[in-house]
Amino acid sequence: MRARLPADLLHRPAEEAARLLALGYLDEIEKASLRLGDPSDTEALHDFRVGLRRLRSCIRAYRSHFKGSVSKRTRRRLRDLTAATNAARDTQVQLAWLHQQAGALAGEVEGLAWLVGRLEGRRFEALQEGTTDVAGQFSRAASKLRRRLRTFRVEVRPDGGSERRSFGQATSALVRSHVLALKEGLAAVEPDNEREAHATRIAAKRLRYLLEPLVRRAPRGKSLIGRLKELQDVLGDLHDVQILSQEITSSRELLSQTNPHQTPRAIPGLLALQGMAQARADTLHAQFEARWAATPAGQFLERVSEFALTLGKAEAGAGETKYPPLGIVRETAGSAAGV
């Protein structure tokens, strides 16, 4: 994440720090949304989607600290924005893989050409109809959300009951709960269990997003991010190739129904592509098994749990620079005061 965050983020109240984090994500998404209309910018959609996922993951993880700022309606709108770009993203990934396989088809290119043509049409339609609307919808939603994130209310009690956890303490507990979810997911991944593999990838992604803003503020964090990225990539590639295999199957059925004269020429290439997709899926699952079997996975998750404990125990360093609150306002007893 490139957004500027205060050096003492871990030691700020969780309500404030979570809002600073979310505001940073909003800025990053907004920059990417301005690029969506440029057809030559092949990374704009990816950057936009990554920003949305990070924001949604932040809101989901720290939802108790966003009380009064993020409504259920806002969460649904962000979810719908992500869903609106799924078709364009999936098609881009599928086309990239298909183009890479062209040289390995041994002349059986009729099916490849037909499938690429079908997906190119779908991609064009998805980009034309989806991204423009999405950019506008995000702009409207972001404007309202940004205003709400900049203010939060604190109840002050004379008996000391108003004492709240720091961002580091809150994140420490969240990381440990996410570690348990990932551990359960890893144990459930099987070659034919596409649903569990996808759910485990999401669990790894959520844990990674929790850790990413902290890698420069706590020791040993960077290596953990790299390992989670590796897990996310292998399960993500596995999911993508499984979706592509389903696409090839449906394409064969459609071709037989709508263009029977072309079917004999195209089917060999489609069958070859399906075999290549299955081989790729087998390779990816073998990579997953080798790197994320019970023992190595357990050792890694133990390291993450140990890292989480350091977040809750961290103390502000002597002479550490105190940054301004970047516009966050804390309301107490009905009056607003700068933090």
SS (H, E, C) 141-210: HHHHHHHHHCEEEECCCCCCCCCCCEHHHHHHHHHHHHHHHHHHHHHHCCCCCHHHHHHHHHHHHHHHHH
- The answer on 280 and 175 residing in a single domain is yes
Q: Quick one: how far is CA 177 from the chain centroid? A: 18
- The answer on 201 and 157 residing in a single domain is no
| pLDDT tens readout for residues 219-241 | 677 889 999 999 999 999 999 99
- The answer on 137 and 35 residing in a single domain is yes
Q: Which domain holds residue 128?
A: 13-162
The reply to whether 180 falls in a domain is: yes
- The answer on 173 and 158 residing in a single domain is no
- The answer on 39 and 158 residing in a single domain is yes
Amino acid 262: pLDDT: 64
Amino acid 211: pLDDT: 94
132 or 320: which leads in pLDDT: 132
- The span from the CA of 95 to the CA of 308, in Å, is 40
Domain stop point among 141, 162, 183: 162
Amino acid 42: pLDDT: 81
Among 235, 241, 237, 242, CA closest to 208: 235
Only one residue has tokens 């023992």, namely: 295
* CA dihedral (12, 16, 22, 27) positive or negative: negative
Instruction: Output the CA–CA distances (angstroms, integers) from residue 231 to 163, 183, 202, 265, in the order listed.
Output: 38, 12, 10, 39
Q: Read off the pLDDT of each residue in 188-209 and give the average, rounded to a whole number.
A: 90
- The answer on 281 and 157 residing in a single domain is no
The one-letter code for the residue type at 6 is P
Confidence check: pLDDT of 298 > 80: yes
